[in-house]
Amino acid sequence: MTVPKLPDGFAWGVATASYQIEGAVAEDGRAPSIWDTFTHTPGRIADGRNGDVACDHYHRYAEDVALMADVGVTHYRFSLAWPRIQPTGVGPLNQAGIDFYARLVEALLARGIQPWVTLYHWDLPQALEDVGGWPSRDTAYRFADYAVATYERLKDRVASWTTLNEPWCSAFLGYGNGQHAPGVQDERKALHAAHHLLLGHGLAVSAMRAAGAADQQIGITLNLWPVTPVSDSPVDTDAVRRVDGINNRFFLDPVLRGSYPADVLDDVAKITDTDHIQSGDEQAIAAPVDFLGVNYYNPNYVRGGASRAAGGRAWIGCDDVEAVPQGFPVTDMGWEVEPDGLRRLLVRLHHDYPGLPIYVTENGMAARDTIDADGRVDDPDRIAYIDAHLRAGAQAIAEGVDLRGYFVWTLTDNFEWSWGFSKRFGLVYLDNETQERIPKTSAVWFASLARTNELPDG
């Protein structure tokens, strides 16, 4: 099937996160984040590595911007390291941190690449975690202060702003099953953290609007899944309701509808009451946004009536629900690949939360990439993956979805959180010992798409 040319102005981008690429963790006034602490704790990271150097982007940003230009991207989505800008999470900003991001922004603009800033991609200042972290309400206020102070310093050069990246991960992996920093296993704290993350988002949006946002667009990025029952039994149907509730609607509804879904609050009532949700919070969370960022990697097919999973689950309130593999191909992360899941998700969002522009702010695959004898890195599976998901997005546009852009995760192989350097997602191969960067076949292929704004036939 021939896919038509994508809409004019469609954003072709790559996405990264500060802790995964920057390195320079103790330079120019940066203080520790929760990920610095977590990665230096024995047993937390699969390969025992850390992000102290990562991709050395702090020193090599000009080289990376040149790579982006070669890849043909029109937009670059990157996050700011809160402890680089405001080392303890309170007080004045660190000028050296602001200066670094100003240099990066200027380098991007000089290449015709639009900067797309994420204010928070999981690297909470350790000083704030020491006084309670996201389970503490005060952190929401500290985030709003940091967000507007940073916004005021960069808004003249940055048009697109995202408050949070994947608050589901920050809350449920960070404080629920402990897979991510700060490594806490407490479902009650996880639910409180989720609320305070969303509250921080809403307070930040309002503060940024008050600081003047006539030419800027402000949104949030959520990781979302299409959830499907493996049968039409009442048990499996209710399993879908609960998993969709805690993974999707618990974040979508307060941001876009102004209230938490009542059924989800009932599902988690045995874990926590709602005293932490104060009067006016939901109104604050629902501060109007200009777009929704969607991160999609895999679908969820679920079955109810299962025994509680060992080792803790991120699906809070769904102890008797299990994921059921469907036999799709899997990435090196073990995630099943179903491009049509993206189409279904986008169409669902269009119908259930109408009128809001959508960007796919992350999509990509981990593969076991290697350098061949000629010094090339061929990654046909990644090309097929991105191609299929772009076609799913194009089909969603044909079905009425206001999809305005697509960001590949990610530019270079990097420090993949609790997996360390053992997983490769990049369009560019990174030798993390020498810092050599080698564009993969997918980088050349993606450039041809970005420059023509259309997909090839077939």
Q: Does an H or E element contain 438, and which?
A: strand 437-439
Q: What separation in angstroms does the CA of 359 have from each of 319, 322, 393, 407?
A: 32, 29, 10, 8
- Confirm if 316 and 173 have CB atoms less than 8 A apart: no
Nearest to 437 by CA among 36, 20, 65, 24: 65
- Phi–psi pair at 334, nearest 5 degrees: 85, 10
Residue 74's CB is within 10 A of a number of other CB atoms, namely 17
Residue 5's CB is within 10 A of a number of other CB atoms, namely 11
Helices (H) and strands (E) in the chain, counts: 16, 13
What token pair was written down for 187? 């479902």
Q: Is 393 exposed, middle or buried (0-12, 13-18, 19+ CB in 10 A)?
A: buried
What's the rounded Cα separation, in Å, for the pair 50 and 38?
A: 9
Residue 345's CB is within 10 A of a number of other CB atoms, namely 23
What's the rounded Cα separation, in Å, for the pair 156 and 117?
A: 13
Q: Name the residue with tokens 């090309």.
A: 383
Give the active site residue among 166, 282, 336, 416: 166
Q: Is residue 166 annotated as part of the catalytic site, yes or no? A: yes
> Residue 72: which residues within 8 A CB-CB, separation 6 or more?
12, 446, 447, 448, 449, 450, 451
Residue 317 backbone class (left: φ over 0; alpha: ψ -120 to 50; beta: rest): left
What's the rounded Cα separation, in Å, for the pair 185 and 173?
A: 9
Q: In what order do the strands lie in the sheet with 322-323?
A: 227-229, 300-303, 322-323
Q: Is 438 exposed, middle or buried (0-12, 13-18, 19+ CB in 10 A)?
A: middle
Q: Name the residue with tokens 């499996």.
A: 236
DSSP state of 7: P
Nearest to 307 by CA among 295, 296, 318, 291: 318
Give the active site residue among 322, 338, 362, 416: 362
322-323/300-303 β-pairing:
antiparallel
- Confirm if 24 and 396 have CB atoms less than 8 A apart: no
Polymer length of the chain:
458
Q: Point out the residues that are catalytic.
A: 166, 362
